[in-house]
Amino acid sequence: MRLLVALILLLLPANVAHAAWLEASSAHFVVYADDSERDIHRFSEQLERYHSAMALVTGTKMEAPSPSNRVTVYVVRSDRDVRKLYRGDSKYVQGFYQPRAGGSLAIVPRVQVGSGEASYTMTILLHEYAHHFAASNSRFPMPRWLSEGGAEFFAAASFERDGSVGLGRPAQMRANELFYGRNVTAEQLLDPTTYAESKNYDAFYGKSWLLYHYLSLGRERDGQLLEYVRLLIAGKSQRDAGLGAFGDFDKLEKDLDDYLDRRKMVYLKLPPKLLETGPITVRALSEGEAAMMPVKIRSKRGVTPEEAAELVEEARAVAARYPKDAAVLSALAEAEFDSGDSDRAIAAADAALAIDPRQTNAYVQKGYAMFDLADQADDTAAAYTRARVPFLKLNKLENDHPLPLVYNYRFYVEQGEDPPELAVQGLARASELAPFDLGLRMTLAMKQLQLGQMAEARRNLIPIAFNPHEGGPSGFAQRILEKLDREPRWDGKSGLEQMAGGDEETSDED
């Protein structure tokens, strides 16, 4: 569950004429859209109201993110465009989310904004933001059913004309799978060892929503969900926590069937006086920014070396038409770095910053490129010292941007030095600013193991090990936790290389 900066765009070739793009900026989101000022403002306002409603219901008080640490949601033209950007096994993908320090993003199809129940595409976006929100506010490793059920619960929302927000409405988009899909039982949700995911679409998401809704708003089992979470925190297995909180699984399954058959379900309606949105500012994008947008979204999504080689040619063509546009040159710097040309990336970033010294992405790309070249320099110490300068300037511009803290730590690691305590503390602060970035959290945990800070390492490893989407470092983190349990006096170093083998890359799919 984790949450956003929004970009709305059409995936058009770079040489096609573009509509007048607008940017709407708010506390937790940035929206770019080729839309009317009224609609883009309304869309941003709904996103902020949704964030405020979630914070109210969960009792969460979170500090506003650094401007560059807001999540970007790219809303593209169609499901097909989403799947093209997702790549891989994307048959059922209709939206996806990538958590990343200083650059989290979600990509969903075009969103229709209006009053009443959220549209299908808006629901996908709200689901992704619920994940981001949860990851940003809790280190508790939620079981997969609880993570997905909660996201479905909050995403089934409505936005009324009077400014109120409804949460926990019936999840209409899950109706077909609940009634016609392969059933997933309560026991399979609560004990994942009994569940084998079907190659065909099953009712996992729908049943997770149903169980979450029943335990949250059904009156018959008041307090049981909190007891379940308490038992998990106390160290009970998922099965034992489920049995301890809910009792017999077969009885729970029957109760869920009865609940689903009800003609009416209650939901939460939050009045506008309780919801804060804050100011929303709208500006028109330059012609060059609009022309560069198709390049920008693909760069931010991530590209293969082959894709990067093609994309940089498009970026150069746009930059040749708009050589005085700082945002265009900043995007060019990113495309150059992705293509492996760090010298040209630095030149493009410098050109962008000469025009506009507040181009945060230009500092990031210049820093990346200078770190890339430093190891090849005759005087590597001096080169790494220079490479740190763009991040120091970025830190002055945005004091709570996580990347300067990360690269201050890497300044020592890349030179084979042991990072000082202050640098390790900075890495920990970066992880606090971007708790949804599991790669960053893993780096911190590995350093804490090395320092013998086993309790701190364990706290950071648990969310990775029990990441509901698994893959990537999840298995590695689980093996480390198991070793910590078996060998309380383990030095945190020996055997790590053997434990690291065999993991697959993390899936971006929600």
Residues 230 and 279 in one domain: no
Residues 274 and 328 in one domain: no
Residues 176 and 259 in one domain: yes
Residues 302 and 388 in one domain: yes
Residues 57 and 125 in one domain: yes
pLDDT (tens digit per residue) in 398-413: 999 999 999 999 999 9
> Residue 216: pLDDT band by 50, 70, 90 thresholds?
very high
Instruction: Tell the burial category of 196 from Cβ atoms under 10 Å away from its Cβ (0-12, 13-18, 19+).
Output: exposed
Boundary residue ending a domain (235, 258, 285) = 285
Torsion of CA 421, 423, 425, 430, to 10 degrees: -170
Let me know if residue 377 belongs to a domain. yes
Let me know if residue 146 belongs to a domain. no
Q: Which of 13-22, 152-161, 427-436 has the lowest mean pLDDT?
A: 13-22
pLDDT at 48: 93
Sign of CA dihedral 134, 8, 367, 334: positive
Q: What mean pLDDT is predicted for residues 210-234?
A: 94
pLDDT at 3: 34
> Residue 278: pLDDT band by 50, 70, 90 thresholds?
very high
Let me know if residue 74 belongs to a domain. yes
Kindly state the percentage of the chain with pLDDT values over 70. 92
pLDDT at 5: 32
Q: What mean pLDDT is predicted for residues 157-184?
A: 91
Closest CA to 294 of 328, 338, 336, 337: 328
End-to-end CA distance of the chain: 9
Residues 348 and 413 in one domain: yes
Strands, E assignment, 179-228: none
Mean pLDDT over the full length of the chain:
88
Listed ranges 15-19, 72-76, 343-347, 451-455; the one with the highest mean pLDDT: 343-347
Total tally of structural domains belonging to the chain: 4
Residues 260 and 275 in one domain: no
Angle formed at CA 446 by CA 140 and CA 480, multiple of 5 degrees: 65
pLDDT at 199: 65
Beta pairing partners, 105: 72, 98
Give dist(CA 156, CA 267) in Å, integer.
10
Closest CA to 199 of 290, 92, 289, 100: 92
Tokens linked to 252: 């729970």
Let me know if residue 326 belongs to a domain. yes
Give dist(CA 289, CA 287) in Å, integer.
6
Residues 415 and 481 in one domain: no
Residue scoring higher pLDDT (122 or 241)? 241
> Residue 502: pLDDT band by 50, 70, 90 thresholds?
low
> Residue 15: pLDDT band by 50, 70, 90 thresholds?
very low
pLDDT at 466: 78
pLDDT at 128: 87
pLDDT at 30: 87
CATH of the domain at 65: 3.40.30
CA separation, residue 11 to residues 24, 201, 296 (Å)? 19, 29, 10
Q: Residue for token digits 């500090």?
A: 63
Let me know if residue 309 belongs to a domain. yes
pLDDT at 11: 35
Question: What's the order of all strands across the beta sheet hosting 72-76?
Answer: 6-8, 72-76, 105-109, 96-98
Q: What mean pLDDT is predicted for residues 106-127?
A: 83
Let me know if residue 159 belongs to a domain. no
Give the domain range for residue 393. 298-430
The 8 Å CB, 24+ separation contacts for 76-80 are 76/9, 76/10, 76/11, 76/107, 76/108, 76/109, 76/110, 76/297, 77/10, 77/11, 77/109, 77/110, 78/109, 78/110, 79/109
pLDDT at 298: 92
pLDDT at 58: 92
> Residue 469: pLDDT band by 50, 70, 90 thresholds?
low
Give dist(CA 122, CA 152) in Å, integer.
12
pLDDT (tens digit per residue) in 446-468: 999 999 999 999 999 988 887 76
pLDDT score of 174 more than 80: yes
Give dist(CA 9, CA 200) in Å, integer.
32
Q: What mean pLDDT is predicted for residues 80-98?
A: 81
Residue scoring higher pLDDT (465 or 214)? 214
> Residue 21: pLDDT band by 50, 70, 90 thresholds?
confident
| φ/ψ bin of 338: left (φ > 0), alpha (ψ from -120 to 50), beta (otherwise) | alpha
Let me know if residue 130 belongs to a domain. yes
Q: How many CB atoms lie within 10 A of CB 133?
A: 28
Let me know if residue 160 belongs to a domain. no
pLDDT score of 200 more than 80: no
